[in-house]
Structure 1
Amino acid sequence: MKGLHQRLNLYINTDESYIFIPAEPVGARPLVVHRHSGDIVLDSPNASIPSSAKRSSKTIYGILGLISLSLSEYLIVITGRELRGTLLGHDVYRAVDFDILPLDPGASVSSPSHPVEAHLLALVRLHLSNGVFLFSYDFDITRRLQAQWVARERDEGKAFWEAADDRFFWNKFLQTRFIDITIANPKNDLSPYILPVINGSFDVRTSSLNGRNLQLCLISRRSRFRAGTRYFRRGVDEEGHVANFNETEQILGVASRKPDEYSTRLSFVQIRGSVPIFWAEVNTLRYKPDLQIMDGHDSVDALTRHMQEQVALYGDQSLVNLVDQKGHEKPVKEAYERYAAEAGVPKVRYQYFDFHNECKHMRWDRISLLIDSLHDDLIRDGYFHIDADKPEPLHWQLGVVRTNCMDNLDRTNVAQAAIAKWTLDLQLKAAGILSEKDTVDNYEDLQRHLREMWSDHADLISRAYAGTGALKTDFTRTGKRTRAGAFDDLKKSILRYVKNNYFDGARQDAYDLVTGAWVPRKGPSSALFLITDNRPLIIRAAPYVLMFSLFMILAGLTLPRSSDYSLFYYFVLWLTTLTLSLAFVFIHGIDYVAWPRLLPPTDIIHYNGPGFRSAHNGKGFGVNMGTLKAGASAQWLARGLRRTDRQMDEIELGTKKRVD
Structure 2
Amino acid sequence: MSLPFRDINVQVAPDSYTFTSPSSPNAPALVIDRPTGDLRLSEGTSYPNKRITRQTSIAGILGMIRLRLDKYVIIITKAQPMGRLKGHMVYKVISTDFLPMRERQIRDPDEDQFLSLLKTFVMTGPMYFSYSLDLTNSFQRQASLDNSKPLWMRADDRFFWNKFVQTDLMDFRTRGSRSQHGAQPAADPFILPIMWGTLEIRPTTLKGQPLTISLVTRKSRYRAGTRYFTRGLDSEGHAANYNETEQIVILNDTGSGMGGFAGSTDMQSGKLGGSEGKEMQILSYVQTRGSIPTYWAEVNALKYTPKLQVKSCEMALPAAKKHFDEQIRIYGDNYLVNLVNQKGREKRMKDAYEEMVSTLVSSPKEGTKADSRTDEKFHVVEPSSSRQEFDRLHYVYFDYHHETRGMQMQRAMLLVDQLKDALMVQQYFRGVDMPANGGLETRNFQTSIVRTNCMDSLDRTNVVQSMLARWTLDRMFIDLGLLQRGEGFATADTDFYFLFRNIWADNADTVSRAYAGTGAMKTDITRMGTRTTAGKLADGNIAITRFYLNNFRDGPRQDAFDLFLGAYEPSEGNIGSSLIFADRRPVLIQSIPYVFAFSVLFIFLALVTRRPADASVITMRLFILFWTVVAAWCGQFIVSNGMLYVNWPKLNPRPWAVEGYQDTISKIRKDKLIGPLVARHERGLSTAKYLSAEEGKKRIE
Q: TM-score, normalised by structure 2?
A: 0.85
Specify the alignment match of 1:78 in structure 2.
76
Query: Which residue is equivalent to 1:139?
Result: 133
1:284 alignment counterpart: 301
* Unaligned 5+ runs, structure 2: 176-181, 254-273, 362-389, 671-676
Match of residue 503 from structure 1: 553
1:602 and 1:515 map into 2 onto residues whose CA distance is 20
Name the CA distance, whole Å, in 2 between partners of 1:260 and 1:134.
30
Deviation at 1:603, TM superposition (A): 4.3
Provide the secondary structure at the position in 1 that maps to 2:634.
helix
1 CA distance for matches of 2:510 and 2:529?
20
Cα deviation, residue 360, structure 1: 0.5
Corresponding residue for residue 334 of structure 1 = 351
Q: Which residue is equivalent to 1:310? A: 327
Question: How far does residue 381 in structure 1 lie from its aligned partner after superposition?
Answer: 1.2
Q: 1:657 — aligned with what? A: none
Match of 1:97 in 2: 95
**2:246 matched residue in structure 1:** 249
Question: 171, 179, 182: which is aligned to 1:180?
Answer: 171
Residue in 1 that maps onto 2:147: 155
1:531 aligns with 2:529: no
User: Counterparts of 2:531 and 2:204 in 1: how far apart (Å)?
Assistant: 26
Deviation at 1:434, TM superposition (A): 1.0
Q: Does structure 2 retain, via aligned residues, the 8 Å contact 1:28–1:45?
A: no
Corresponding position: 1:346 with 2:397: no
**Would the aligned equivalents of 1:284 and 1:617 in 2 still touch at CA under 8 Å?**
no
Once the two structures are superposed, residues 52-96 of structure 1 have per-residue CA deviations (whole angstroms, 9 ceiling, x without a partner) of 11342x421000110001111000000011111211111110111
Say yes or no: does 1:421 pair with 2:470: yes
The residue aligned with 2:2 is: 2
DSSP-derived class of the 2:135 partner: coil
> Aligned partners of 1:336, 1:496: CA distance in 2, in Å?
26
| Map of 2:111 onto structure 1 | 117
The superposition leaves residues 392-437 of structure 1 with CA deviations (integer Å, 9 ceiling, x where unpaired) of: 5222101100000011100001000000000000011111111102
More divergent stretch after superposition (599-608 vs 303-312): 599-608
Write out per-residue CA displacement over residues 266-293 of structure 1, whole angstroms, 9 at most, x where no aligned residue.
0100000000111011110011111111
The code of the aligned residue for 2:507 comes to H
Identify the residue that residue 633 of structure 2 maps to in structure 1: 580
Decide whether aligned partners of structure 1 residues 113 and 532 sit closer, same or farther in structure 2, where only a CA change above 3 A counts: same
Residues 299, 309 of structure 2: 8 Å contact kept: yes
Q: Deviations over 1:493-550 (max 9, x none)?
A: 1111111110110000000000000011113449733231111222112111101111
Query: What code does the residue aligned with 2:97 have?
Result: D
In structure 2, C-alpha distance between the alignment counterparts of 1:341 and 1:515, rounded to whole Å: 34
Partner SS for 1:186: coil
> Structure 2 counterpart of 1:238, which letter?
S
Corresponding residue number in structure 2 for 1:227? 224
Contact 1:621–1:632 (8 Å) recurs in 2 = no
Output the TM-score relative to the length of structure 1. 0.91
- The equivalences for 1:510-521 within 5 A come to 510-521=560-571
Tell me the residue number matched to 1:21.
Answer: 20
Q: Which residue does the alignment assign to 1:320? A: 337
Please tell me whether the aligned partners of residues 237 and 323 of structure 2 are also in contact (alpha carbons under 8 angstroms): yes
Structure 2 distance, partners of 1:587, 1:363, is 39
Deviates more, 1:24-33 or 1:365-374: 24-33
Cα distance, 1:604 vs structure 2: 5.8
In the other structure, the counterpart of 1:611 is: none
SS for the counterpart of 2:303 is: coil
Q: Is the 8 A contact 1:29 1:46 kept in 2?
A: yes
Q: Give 1:295 shift.
A: 2.3
Matched residue type, 2:160? F
Q: What is the root-mean-square deviation in Å for CA atoms of aligned residues?
A: 2.8
- Which whole-Å CA distance do the structure 2 matches of 1:274 and 1:634 have between them? 40
Say if 2:447 is the partner of 1:449. no
Query: Which amino acid is 2:109 matched to?
Result: P
Task: Note the alpha carbon deviations across 1:363-408, whole angstroms, 9 max, x for none.
Answer: 1111101101111111121110113589952221011000000111
Q: Tell me, yes or no, if structure 1 residue 236 matches structure 2 residue 233.
A: yes
User: Deviation per CA, 1:112-155, whole angstroms, max 9, x where unpaired?
Assistant: 6111111111112123343111000000001000000012xx33
The amino acid that maps onto 1:397 is Q
In 2, distance between residues paired with 1:353 and 1:463? 25
Larger radius of gyration: 2
Cα distance per residue 1:183-218 (max 9 Å; x no partner):
112246311100000111100112222442111000
Q: Percent identity?
A: 38
SS of 1:206's partner is strand
Q: 1:650: how far off? A: 5.4
Contact 1:588/1:634 (8 A) holds in 2: no
Moved more, 258-267 or 500-509: 258-267
Partner of 2:364: none
Instruction: Indicate the residue corresponding to 2:382 in structure 1.
Output: none
